[in-house]
């Protein structure tokens, strides 16, 4: 270091220079102090990245959740490093309402989205979504795949950038409905054209004119959309890693939503697996006749019988196809997590993995989502955070949580305020104390599954006139027989809502007119999960006092069932 040398010519000059030296010395000390504080402060307020993994139609059929057949090593490994939620529930077991609720932090009726064809932004122009809110806190926000429901992706407000587009990821070739095999694309085209010619342009969105239920071509992972989207997410993450901003990266998987399509190697993984079918082939004894549909979503596929039972051999193939796509998704998640690790980002990234709802694989005699029962409403939820205590990693919590709680939880974890419009409760405390007392109930709803299309929208002309007609007549006769003089076509098709409350012991469902706040319930369902975890017998009629007690709790709503803690 060079010494500063001053020439003293007189006393005044000396005093002046001494004061100057002192000033420089103090200035240097101040700068060192400020830089030190700045460094410490930046380190202390560094915001975590968020990897938000959404999986479509995935029930808790994972090894980590106790499945004896599902091959899911990567999700199982994530659970071993984080906290697994045993009792997480969606707010409605259909794609758009569930996802709109997740992303706005508000419940389906609050945002007026109870079926797949309502856009939350049109109905709630000022509501602030999770990624939109994180942008105001300095986050880069981006998605690849399915986060919002397709067509309602809120491009302008929720996302600060697009996913990667460049030579490192090949463009997907033009395909029909994601099929790789030409013959399946042709089947889809022909069926689609037929229903459009007869019922108009909206017929396909109403569930008509589909292709085969599954396909497993001898093709690489990125031949199908989930593999391609994973590659986009990885390259997007690498780009964002070069910036100073924290990021929110949504990676949304289309599978295991129908159609079950993936590379053949995932189908082959289950070659020697003994796939047992459900032993619950009927709906609950004394259950709501309007509470179960006729498997419309599956029966719309070209290779599925329109009416009658699905034979055992085909049922096993369908379950195998579902599980194969689950394993395909699991493999892509493994690639994403490996890339996150290789970029050195894992230690400062919150990972939240969830599904929008569950799925009946023949359970209760039906195939599909779109009910208020446990099999359709309970979802996997796994959370890993950078600062999670070692004692918590790999553990499970039985606390009741809802998907609507993810928004406020991520806000708290990121050190961001929670908007007043949010109707969930942050479960951040559970991430350090998984066994603490928590919510007393979780809430789900679905409008009259038996007499609506699987997207929860009212029945179309095409649904009534095609092969679905006899199914609808059969279901309708069953409802009339059960409900007697309560039957009213307009009520049961357009205004009836099943509101389901899940407590630690019971599932309690109240059926009533959702358009009239003063309407009295027309039917109750009650299932005791201690003695009847598969919900096989509705015990409401035999337990009027318990029904009255639960109705009081139900009427308190979600606000009256939140966790109380200091």
Residues tagged active-site: 95, 149
Residues 6+ apart with CB under 8 A from 167: none
Of the chain, the end-to-end C-alpha distance in Å amounts to: 57
Residue 447, classified by CB atoms within 10 Å of its CB into exposed (0-12), middle (13-18) or buried (19+), is: buried
3-state secondary structure of 50: strand
Cβ–Cβ under 8 Å, residues 337 and 352: no
Structure tokens at 154: 């809120």
The backbone region for 118, taken as left when phi is positive above 0, alpha when psi lies in -120 to 50, beta otherwise, is: beta
3-state secondary structure of 222: helix
Cβ–Cβ under 8 Å, residues 217 and 182: no
CA separation for the pair 316, 275 (Å, rounded)? 7
Radius of gyration over alpha carbons of the chain, in Å? 27
Cβ–Cβ under 8 Å, residues 326 and 46: no
> Can you spell out the DSSP letters for 503-522?
-SSEEEEEEEETT-TTPPPS
3-state secondary structure of 540: coil
Ranges assigned E (strand) in 371-439:
378-379, 381-384, 395-402
Structure tokens at 172: 């997907």
Structure tokens at 228: 């391609």
> Strands 49-55, 349-355: parallel, antiparallel or unpaired by DSSP?
parallel
b (16+ CB within 10 A) / e for 268-294? ebbeeeeeeeeebeebbeebbbbbbbb
CA separation for the pair 490, 257 (Å, rounded)? 31
Cβ–Cβ under 8 Å, residues 169 and 228: yes
DSSP designation for 252: E
Q: Match 């030190």 to its residue by tokens.
A: 36
> Can you spell out the DSSP letters for 518-530?
TPPPSEEEEEETT
């Amino acid at each position: 270091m060079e010494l500063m040398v001053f020439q003293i010519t007189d006393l005044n000059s000396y005093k002046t220079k001494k004061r100057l030296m002192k000033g420089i010395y103090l200035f240097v000390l101040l700068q060192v102090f400020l830089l030190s504080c700045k460094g410490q402060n930046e380190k202390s307020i560094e915001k975590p990245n968020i990897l938000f993994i959404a999986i479509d139609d995935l029930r808790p059929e994972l090894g980590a959740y106790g499945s004896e057949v599902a091959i899911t090593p990567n999700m199982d490994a994530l659970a071993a490093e984080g906290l697994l939620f045993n009792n997480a529930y969606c707010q409605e077991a259909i794609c758009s309402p569930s996802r709109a609720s997740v992303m706005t932090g508000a419940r389906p009726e609050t945002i007026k989205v109870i079926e797949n064809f309502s856009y939350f932004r049109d109905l709630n122009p000022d509501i602030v979504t999770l990624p939109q809110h994180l942008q105001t806190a300095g986050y880069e926000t981006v998605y690849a795949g399915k986060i919002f429901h397709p067509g309602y992706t809120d491009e302008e407000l929720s996302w600060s950038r697009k996913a990667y587009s460049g030579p490192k990821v090949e463009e997907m070739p033009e395909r029909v409905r994601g099929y790789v095999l030409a013959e399946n694309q042709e089947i889809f085209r022909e069926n689609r054209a037929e229903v459009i010619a007869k019922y108009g342009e909206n017929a396909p969105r109403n569930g008509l004119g589909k292709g085969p239920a599954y396909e497993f071509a001898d093709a690489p992972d990125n031949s199908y959309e989930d593999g391609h989207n994973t590659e986009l997410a990885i390259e997007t993450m690498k780009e964002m890693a070069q910036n100073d901003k924290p990021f929110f990266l949504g990676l949304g998987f289309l599978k295991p939503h129908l159609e079950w399509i993936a590379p053949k190697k995932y189908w082959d993984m289950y070659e020697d697996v003994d796939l047992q079918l459900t032993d619950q082939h009927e709906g609950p004894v004394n259950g709501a006749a309007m509470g179960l549909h006729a498997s419309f979503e599956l029966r719309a596929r070209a290779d599925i019988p329109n009416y009658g039972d699905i034979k055992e051999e085909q049922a096993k193939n369908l379950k195998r196809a579902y599980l194969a796509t689950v394993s395909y998704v699991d493999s892509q998640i493994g690639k994403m997590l490996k890339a996150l690790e290789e970029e050195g980002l894992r230690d400062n990234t919150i990972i939240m993995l969830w599904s929008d709802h569950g799925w009946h694989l023949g359970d209760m005699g039906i195939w599909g989502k779109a009910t208020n029962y446990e099999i359709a409403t309970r979802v996997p939820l796994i959370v890993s955070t950078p600062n999670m205590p070692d004692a918590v990693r790999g553990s499970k919590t039985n606390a009741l949580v809802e998907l609507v709680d993810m928004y406020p939880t991520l806000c708290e974890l990121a050190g961001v305020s929670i908007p007043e419009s949010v109707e969930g409760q942050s479960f951040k405390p559970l991430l350090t104390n998984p066994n603490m007392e928590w919510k007393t109930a979780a809430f789900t709803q679905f409008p009259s599954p038996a007499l609506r299309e699987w997207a929860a929208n009212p029945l179309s002309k095409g649904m009534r006139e095609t092969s679905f007609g006899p199914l609808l007549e059969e279901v309708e006769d069953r409802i009339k027989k059960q409900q007697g003089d309560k039957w009213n076509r307009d009520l049961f098709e357009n205004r009836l809502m099943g509101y389901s409350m899940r407590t630690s012991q019971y599932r309690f469902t109240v059926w009533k007119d959702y358009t009239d706040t003063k309407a009295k319930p027309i039917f109750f369902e009650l299932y005791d999960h201690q003695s009847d975890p598969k919900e096989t017998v509705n015990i409401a009629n035999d337990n009027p006092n318990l029904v009255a007690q639960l109705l009081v709790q139900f009427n308190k709503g979600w606000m009256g069932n939140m966790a109380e803690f200091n």
